Amino acid sequence: MKKNILLSILVLSAFFKGYTQNKYPVNTLSVSAGPSFPVGHYAGKNLEDEKAGLAGPGEQINISFEHKLNKTIGIATVLYGTRNPVNTTSIEKQLDGEKFIDGFALTTGPGQPIPDAAYITYPNWKMDKKSWLSATLLAGPSIDIPFNTATNNFSFTAKAMIGVMYASSPKLQGKSNTDTVIAQITQNSASAFGFSYLLGAGIQYNKCKHISIHAGIDYLAAPRVTFKDATASFAVLKYPGSLNMAGSYSSITTTAKQPVAIMNLTIGIGIKL
């Protein structure tokens, strides 16, 4: 019995000694940042397209934690924050040429065609600069494949994740000012959650045992974020400051469904724990 116990202790000691010699950091905490480029409908500039997000290039930052199951495969979680300014220049150009119905000149009854004389344009639009904001929490598998197993300095990395995105739409406000008319367009800010996913790939340089530097590209998308009670309004003040001053106002409240898709370029540092 004593010999069996002694033999078991020796075997376990040899096992743990070998495991300790081959042990590598199994957890990595990383911080990355870089530019963010909207794509698809999210970057659309056509005001007549209800899915157009009018989002422009911005920036992003993300924090990730990866747990290695072995030297190649791991499980990772990522918290992403992005900001994408609204393309106000595109909005201003389109509004400058847009034909609005002139409520002061409209005299036709219900169901009657609107004559050309009832349309009016408002020039010199200026939009306030606002941005789309989003925060996304994702989790999924990751891989780390060394280019050279002997040195293990450089490796290819990839990840595929799913999660949830919290998105906040920008509060838009723009004005057209002339000597005789002031026109104003507003749209309220709204926020909502949506299912999201991420596909990413990159290169990692292991500077030493506990520090790595990485760069890559991530495709982050939320196919449909539904904003409830999205309200847009249009107001006109004619002959401001005069005795003949007149005004008109109209608004609409609806449910807006916005697809979000972003290509993020990332560069950062990881600390292996």
Is pLDDT at 220 greater than 90 in this prediction?
A: yes
* Cβ pair 86, 41 in contact under 8 A: no
Mean pLDDT of all residues belonging to the chain:
87
Rounded distance between C-alpha atoms, residue 76 and residue 181, angstroms: 56
Percent of the chain with pLDDT over 90: 67
3-state helix, strand, coil in the chain (%, to 5): 15, 60, 30
CA 178 to chain centre: 37
3 state SS of 19: helix
Give backbone dihedrals phi and psi of 154, rounded to 5 degrees, phi first.
-115, 145
Contacts of 169 (CB under 8 A, 6+ apart): 132, 189, 190, 191, 227, 230, 256, 258
Instruction: For each of the domains in the chain, give its residue range(s) and CATH number, in order of start.
Output: 26-272 (2.40.160.20)
pLDDT band at 17 (very low <50, low <70, confident <90, very high): very low
Is pLDDT at 176 greater than 50 in this prediction?
A: yes
Residue of 190, 203, 110, 199 whose CA lies nearest to 156 = 203
